[in-house]
Structure 1
Amino acid sequence: MASRLVRLRARLARSGALGQALLAVLGRDHLDEAAWEKLEETLLQADLGIDPTTRILTELRTRIRVDGTRDPAQVRAILRELLLTEVDPTMDRTLSTERRTTGDGTQAPATFLMVGVNGTGKTTTAGKLARLLVAEEKTVLLGAADTFRAAAADQLQTWGERVGVEVVRSDREGADPASVAHDAVQRGVAEGVDVVIVDTAGRLQNKAGLMDELGKITRVVTRKAPVAESLLVLDATTGQNGLRQARVFAEVAQLTGIVLTKLDGSAKGGIVVAVQKELGIPVKLVGLGEGPDDLAPFDPETFVDALLG
């Protein structure tokens, strides 16, 4: 766990535009109005959102005035505290990976649905998550229920081979996604697997079609096992567009957590705050690069320290 947190901080620090800008402002002996405007601009450019930025700056001004401090280190410490409050370390970010007993007494795997638009790294994230769970000595099965993107099943198969887990897929392009998901969970039950991860299609042509498809997958899967996690995969670099995607998926799926990908290439880490406030669900995992081990549990304190540089 410790090594993953070290890697999280190191990868986030690579994009240190936010940290550098904050340090430049906080390094001044006196925060004049120009400095406050620059601080506001920096937080907004990091996709923190208008309301959180306003709350932070209002409280920061008040604390500086009450404490009478001009010490940049003390100002930074106050800002760190306020940012951490916005990220909300009290949220439960654990993954529900324990097998469970169904209504008929059958032992069933924890079933994960990976949802999100194509291009966010959803299939890759499913593979990396499988690797993460295998490292925690969980048995895992992957389900290739994105049957509309020709390369999706092959991509997931490659990940399965890389991390040493089996993949349930259809040989027919355009096959019923719910059928593939059902087969994956059914096999997971039969083989006593701990976790089944189902990769779903990410089409957003219309909300009704998405709702129908995800609804059907959920209904079919829950006949065999309850859905333990419904994880929304978002690309950190998409900013407000990512929030719009999040709203749609929150309407059509019972989301339990967020996976934020491509965080290593973005200075827009504030999207963590914005999306958690928008959906009321926690960021549980972050993608930090292209490597098989570049998926880490989200740690609020490490994240805020990395933002501050």
Structure 2
Amino acid sequence: MALTGVLRPGHVQLRVLDLAAAVKHYSQVLGLWETARDPQGRVYFKAWDEHDHHSVVLREAEAAGMDFMGFRVDSTATLKKLADNVKASGLATEMQWVEAGEMLKTGERFRFTTPTGHVIELYAEKEKVGNMMPLENPEVYPENLKGMSPTRFDHCLLYGDDLDGTVKLFTEVLGFKLAEQVVAGPDRLQIAAFLTCSNKPHDVAFIRHPEKNKFHHASFILDNWGEVLKAADIITRHRVSLDIGPTRHGITRGETIYFFDPSGNRNEVFSGGYIAYPDRPTLTWTDDELGRAIFYHDRKLNEAFLSVVT
């Protein structure tokens, strides 16, 4: 099945407290490639196997967290159609068009705020800069990789209050599918939703939380479990603040490790998972099995992991 509509996560803009320290972390520890700096002082990065100009943007600010997350759509026509559908849905607020070029090498973006308070963007155009290898007869990876060297920005996990409205917006308006969920209590209230627009276990996930617009983590994918273990070595070598792992999730089956950038924004690198074809049934976890769902090996909840957000 050809992917249409919303194709994939395209970028995330993060607020950091010390730009120089953050640049060092994202370039030397995570191993992203710096691609540009703009007149606003923002710094742009990409993972090595991404062909688009950037997927991570850092902005120095007084408080850490996420400014917005962007998704690439398949065409300008789709962008206009989805913008109209979002406007007509009654589920989004603060809708606006951001002109082409406001973000470097990126076309116009349609921006809106979800019921959970998160700012989301859709866009159709971003300059291709390649992965330092030819498109004909390439090698399998370029030389001079450093740090953890993920192949791409994969997803974000976000916290907010109106989970029901946000899930409705993503599934009924933007065309995402609910890959996995967590339900709680006798009424089986949905407390977590893992949403995909592709064939991955999730492209974005949301957790029910009393406060709006909270950021849990940005995640980047590695090739295999061995690379996750190597990431743990890099975390120690650079004395990075470790959150949890290496371990494995029951939800999504990802092999994972979590750590913090110098501003307190949580990062994840992971491998594994499964292929979520459109006809795959939704997987449901109950809150009495939440420990195993989140940390499959030790099967225990970690309060700091659940509660620390920016």
| Structure with greater helix share of residues | 1
| Structure with greater strand share of residues | 2
Same fold (TM over 0.5): no
Q: Which has the higher contact order (CA 8 A, sep 6+)?
A: 1
Q: Which TM-score bucket, shorter chain as reference?
A: under 0.3
TM-score by length of 1: 0.28
